Chain A
């Protein structure tokens, strides 16, 4: 394995916060007390909270050690399919941390907050331009909340027309958040199977679509990394039966500058700023999931909306048909600033190039590995490709074993066992920010793992051996949950 980045090294253990420190230590510079204590009624006074007491050094060592047990995009290639783990530019972090932005109170008078209102208005315009849609709300805090917003918009649209459909079509390739978001709006998700090419057929949608159906949720490119080639025909068909089309834009990174979402007829689409627009994932959030809509859904968008009048920006609640609020204030503004900075740094040409390179990288991997791993849909892919463990299963080596072994080689594993329609799925999304050298090393690692599956399968079943932790007893964790102490 000498050519691969994975190595062993000195790993420092670190106890839990409350197992270190000492009563009486403090890591915080308490501000000077310059007012007298005010008496407190004993009936409301509580105990001193039971929080561990550490010095600043204790704190710094603790979290520095913990950080070294994590793998991030800055550590190495992170080809986690469907998650778009692209490089997160450092300048974006700087911009969001500027005191004028980071320290801003959300209820500042509008004349004292023009800068951020302008960032929000312009970001809305950029996202409208990129998708071709007419209006945007930046408020949803994450992709799943964007989906919920989209469902609420569709619900409000039908209600405004005195319709109460009860069902919603959800393809079998969809993310789990899709049916869960639909269910929150009281819709019964009706699964629609993809065809032998891995995409939706007009016929299967036509069969499922009826007047009781509110619409369809379509992820495009889908979670097999394939473009839904019948998209326009499906949209037309759903519209003809009175339904609306929700576009899950989680995979928009494949088609910037190529696809016009509005011209396909999609009514509402969410974007993930933390995927397509390079804001970091932060170990699982915060993200942002703006929704883009066409004209007929604009009246229902969440409030407040940023409006422009007399050359100044203001926030307005004056949209009587609005579905309401999704967030205590305006959404994850800190994330918006990073996405705005990214778009301003890239411009139209580089955004398109990013999509082209993302697709090039995925096809390069697909072609390089399809002799080694079973490729269930051997077709041109978009930004990601999906293999299976079929060839390795004969050696009793599973997707999970190969994923774990990849860690020893110094890579984050791809997404595994998703999408559900593919048995033992290995879903690889390299993103555009991986260079040819890094891809070649990844491809070589995957081939080496496949070779080991044949020659020394036990090695894979025991993997990983190099990281801080070996495989975890997840069953025990769920059987007797220990979630706090």
Chain B
């Protein structure tokens, strides 16, 4: 096996130094009642070339671009990733290092994470961002745990238009505790009902997603106001950070904690993971924030350098009193996001965001002409809901043959919204692609 370097002679010599006769003798401290009775039953080892064939075969069964045109978002977005980003990410010094506990020989990761924290803070309009979390959903759950810690209150009010999977993760994290989740109902226009906050003085946080699960932009300033009236923290979550290239940032609109999924920023969709949990807050809350933080300092010779800092919040120091049990972050994904943001720069980030919205509006208009209208009239970014005629599910399945995935049904998430579909268009679709989608739908209607 090419990963195992030991020759028989070396093994012999090393067993001698270890003072045992055989490999089995190395395991003398493993009691009989903990041992396997037989060998593991696993498939025979494959050569590198056999593995390639197997995996290529499995990969071919998946419906992906460029062969397939997939008009789906809902928390995972298809964006172009510059090859320079993928290439740099594959540098083995980034890939095969661990958490930068030894700063002298980890300055590459540390500076890159410091830059990531800065770019994320700027994009979200916040003062401080951590080194990343697992994904948007767990970042969201951690944000509400943090709000409960800061306010010492037990209830959180969350918009019912937050990604349903995020809400499920939140309930899982809250499961064993006495923390309570109250959902804020939605309005006819696809936004959250700001008059629907629970009548209670025990509110730790008010949380909304923008753009929300229906793709609609929420009135964040209004919710910030409502949260302040209740003396609760205002938490904003997101699944599509590219939207903040075009819309006002949550920080500028009064958010206390902003968290969400950063997959859109140069990270492969990878069937949903790994992604990037982005997490930002105000400096006054930094000591209650979960996750790793990189800070700027100097070395013995006074030169600028970077270290992991404020570790007294973390599990390896504080153990059960830590702000979270999180240990590693999704550092390599954070690196991808920083590279991606830096490759665009501010003006191109804006242009790309605008293009996502323009293409999405182009499809929205074309579908409306075909009789599939958008039932919610709030502004959207790169995804939106349409109401389809009752036979549409059959048409959608027929379109798989044409290598098109025409949106996602909303009904599994919102049983009261049959025939509603969530469509997403990003910069990866050309006008020609969109025209073909609409004409194929029209032909089957």
Contact = CB atoms under 8 A, between A and B. Distances in A.
A436 to B, nearest CB: 4
Contact of A104 (B75, B271, B408): B271
Contact of B292 (A17, A284, A347, A350): A284
Given A72-B92, A283-B94, A471-B104, A59 B343 contact: yes
A95 B307 contact: no
A283 B123 contact: no
Given A46-B249, A177-B327, A363 B18 contact: yes
Given A49-B245, A283-B99, A330-B273, A141 B138 contact: yes
Interface stretch (A63-71, A238-246, A391-399, A447-455): A63-71
Nearest to B427: A31
Interface string A71-113: 1111100101001010111010111111111111111110111
B60 to A, nearest CB: 6
A130 interface: yes
Given A282-B94, A472-B103, A368 B17 contact: yes
A68 B108 contact: yes
B123 A49 contact: yes
The 9 A-B residue pairs with the shortest CB-CB distance, nearest first, are A329-B272, A100-B59, A282-B332, A106-B272, A347-B45, A53-B345, A324-B172, A286-B274, A72-B96
A284 B131 contact: yes
Nearest to B60: A100
Given A132-B36, A323-B175, A360 B23 contact: yes
B404 to A, nearest CB: 11
A323 B172 contact: yes
A348 interface: yes
Contacts of B312: 478
B45 A35 contact: no
Contacts of A25: 345
B305 A472 contact: yes
Interface string A394-437: 00000000011001000011000010000000000000111110
Nearest to B121: A484
27 contacts: A16-B114, A38-B362, A51-B345, A56-B84, A59-B343, A93-B90, A100-B59, A101-B271, A108-B62, A112-B61, A115-B62, A129-B42, A141-B138, A183-B325, A264-B33, A264-B34, A327-B272, A328-B273, A332-B270, A347-B42, A354-B3, A364-B17, A462-B300, A469-B104, A478-B311, A483-B128, A483-B309
A59 to B, nearest CB: 5
A63 B108 CA distance: 8
Nearest to A278: B3
Interface size class of B (residues with CB under 8 A): 35 or more
B326 interface: yes
A363 B271 CA distance: 41
Contacts of A34: 430-432
Contacts of A363: 18, 20, 26
A47 B86 CA distance: 29
Nearest to A158: B176
Interface string B306-336: 1101111011111111101111111111010
Contacts of B34: 227, 231-232, 259-260, 263-264
Interface in B174-225: 175-177, 217
B307 A477 contact: yes
Interface string B1-23: 10111100011011101111001
Given A100-B58, A472-B297, 14 more contacts: A30-B352, A48-B349, A49-B350, A54-B345, A59-B343, A66-B108, A104-B271, A152-B176, A285-B132, A285-B332, A474-B103, A483-B114, A483-B128, A485-B118
Interface in B397-411: 397, 400, 405, 408
A165 to B, nearest CB: 11
Contact of A27 (B13, B137, B343): B343
A251 to B, nearest CB: 13
Interface stretch (B63-71, B227-235, B369-377, B383-391): B63-71
Contacts of A328: 75, 135-137, 163, 165-166, 169, 261, 272-273, 275
A94 to B, nearest CB: 8
Contacts of B357: 38, 40
A436 B10 contact: yes
Interface in A366-395: 366-368, 379-380, 382
A8 B129 CA distance: 35
**From B51, B96, B163, B357, residue with most partner A Cβ within 10 Å:** B96
A398 to B, nearest CB: 15
Contacts of B43: 344, 347
B400 A109 contact: yes
Interface in A456-476: 462, 464, 467-474, 476
A229 B54 CA distance: 41
A326 B358 contact: no
